[in-house]
Amino acid sequence: MPYIPHTDEEVQEMLAAIGAVSIDDLFDEIPDALRIDGLDRVPVGLEESAVSRLMQSRAATDTGSVSFIGAGAYEHYIPAAVWDVATRGEYYSAYTPYQAEASQGSLQLIYEYQSMMAALSGLDVSNASLYDGATAFAEACLMAVRANRKTKSRRVLTTRGVSPLYRAVANAIMAGQGIELVELPNRHGVVDIAALAEHAGEDYAAVAVQQPSFLGTLDDVDALCDWASANNSLLIGVCNPLSLAVLKPPGQWGTHGADIACGEGQPLGIPVSSGGPYFGYLVCRQPLVRQMPGRIVGRTVDLDGKPGFTLTLQAREQHIRRSKATSNICTNQGLMVTAATIYMALLGAEGLRRNAQACHHNTRRLAAGLSALPGVEQVFDTYFHEAVLRFDRPLEPVLDALADAGIFGGYPLGDAYPELGQCLLVCATEMRTADEIDAYVETLGRLLSDSRAA
């Protein structure tokens, strides 16, 4: 029997010890009307080799394309050591480190992760991670509403450069508590700082800005940060952690720095893998730590005065506070954080900087090549590693034709940004070779001129 060690003889002896005749007897407290004989609509079990063949063939169905999509999930090279070590059984098959003495490995690793995220963001304190970037944004907004002592406002003013997917998730999560996002208009792909004047004197628990924005552009975060603090709002920065190796980190924005930063941890050694599992990071200034959701690891000493690590500030959490907790969150994304910590240790600040620069230059090369084609123009000049291109025709047939040629051309922006109809968000990470970039330009050129001729 797969994964079940019992011999027939052992089963009989165990039943005898219980005082039961059969395994069926052990279910005699379930009312007869509810007991079933078996499961319909579930196939029979397969041998490991058969499942292996099945999955190999399904995985093969989805391979062979070259992707130029970013939009919140980025394909980066992951050194072999990362997942080789992260999937060791001692990490992979451990539970939440509630028994600290038997979990020092996971706990110390999380402490190191927290230290690395604090260093990258320029803020004081990190939690042990949340589910993904979108839920980290939602939790950051909820945290700001709880933490802002200067206002009882249940509104968060957000740029439209915050990922539309994150805003959708935050709305779904916050709706029940009556907390809403108010959107600032975009101008040339960034917030129009002059338009902020309309909101002066209004109550907002926080102002949220994504840097680089979903469109790849860069906002005047210093001005936004100072405006927020002048209006008694906290400032939430949403950042791609890779960008923090080269861009000014939230802790250094404006006069006082951002209060909270969050984002998607996936670029730190996690494969794109259809959208998950990833992890969300959340960091803040020290005075806000008691309003932070999720697990936090602290360093302390044991009975002999020897340093050790433990979960701390647990009075914030659901298993202690129940209905008064800061969040219902129970898990972090421990395994993902394990991989990300090893990834950051291997790359260091210098490795991250090199990757960030390579992504920037690859995307510039791609955008320059594509916008040289007739019918394609570049929309914004200043961007990190994603560029917006406007086409002179509907995108769907173009993207379909590209996909048939083995190229995922980018993310169409029209649904989320009606003002950017027929616009495409493209990204070329350090994974894309010069040949792949050139092939995209050449293929698109051929497709556009063919359909023009037709």
Partner 1 sequence: MHEPLIFEHSQPGRRAPGLSEARQSALNLPAAFLRGDVPALPEVSELQAVRHYTRLSQLNFSIDTHFYPLGSCTMKYNPKVCNQLAMLPGFTGRHPLGPASHGQGFLSCMYELQEMLAAVTGMAEVSLTPMAGAQGEFAGVAMIMAYHRARGDDARREIIVPDAAHGTNPATAIMCGCEVRELATGPDGDIDLEALRQAVGPQTAGIMLTNPSTLGVFERQIQEVARIVHEAGGLLYYDGANLNAILGRALPGAMGFDVIHMNLHKTFSTPHGGGGPGSGAVGVNQRLAPFLPVPVVGKEGDKYRWLTETDRPQSIGRLSAFMGNAGILLRAYIYMRLLGAEGMRRVADFATLNANYLMARLASAGFQLAYPRRRASHEFIVSVKDLTRETGVTAMDFAKALLDEGFHAPTTYFPLLVPECLLIEPTETESRQDLDAFVDAMVAIRQRAFQDPEAVKAAPLTMPVRRLDDVRAARQLDLAWPVEQSA
Tokens of 256: 């006082």
From the CB of 209, what's the least distance to partner 1, in Å? 13
The DSSP secondary-structure symbol of 163 reads -
Cβ proximity to partner 1, 89 vs 201, nearer residue = 89
Three-class SS state of 325: coil
Among the listed residues 43, 194, 200, 201, the single contact to partner 1 using CB under 8 A: 43
Is there binding between residue 213 and partner 1 (CB under 8 A)? no
Between CA 14 and CA 406 the distance in angstroms is 58
Cβ proximity to partner 1, 42 vs 200, nearer residue = 42
φ, ψ for residue 408, nearest 5 deg: -90, 110
Burial class for 164, CB neighbours closer than 10 Å (0-12, 13-18, 19+): middle
Strands ordered across the beta sheet of 125-126: 125-126, 280-284, 260-264, 234-238, 206-210, 155-159, 180-184
From the CB of 333, what's the least distance to partner 1, in Å? 5
Tokens of 426: 């493209």
Residues between 380 and 439 that touch partner 1 (CB under 8 A): 382, 384, 399-400, 403, 408, 411, 430
From the CB of 194, what's the least distance to partner 1, in Å? 18
Between CA 149 and CA 157 the distance in angstroms is 17
Is there binding between residue 163 and partner 1 (CB under 8 A)? yes
Is there binding between residue 195 and partner 1 (CB under 8 A)? no
Residues between 362 and 391 that touch partner 1 (CB under 8 A): 364, 382, 384
Is there binding between residue 152 and partner 1 (CB under 8 A)? no
Between CA 105 and CA 348 the distance in angstroms is 21
* Size of interface with partner 1, in residues (CB under 8 A): 200
φ, ψ for residue 437, nearest 5 deg: -65, -45
Encoded one letter per residue, x for contact with partner 1 by CB under 8 A and - for no contact, window 311-350 reads -xx-x-xxxxxxxxx-xxxxxxxxxx-x--xx-xxxxxxx
Strands 387-391 and 423-426: antiparallel
Three-class SS state of 80: helix
Residues between 257 and 296 that touch partner 1 (CB under 8 A): 264, 271-279, 286-287, 289, 295-296
Among the listed residues 124, 180, 203, 436, the single contact to partner 1 using CB under 8 A: 124
Specify the stretch interacting with partner 1 by CB under 8 A; choose among 61-69, 143-151, 188-196, 232-240. 61-69
Is there binding between residue 149 and partner 1 (CB under 8 A)? no
Residues between 1 and 40 that touch partner 1 (CB under 8 A): 1-6, 10-11, 13-15, 17-20, 23, 26-31, 33-36, 38-40
Is there binding between residue 300 and partner 1 (CB under 8 A)? yes
Residues between 228 and 247 that touch partner 1 (CB under 8 A): 244-247
Give every CB contact of residue 117 below 8 A, 6+ residues apart in sequence.
126, 241, 281, 283
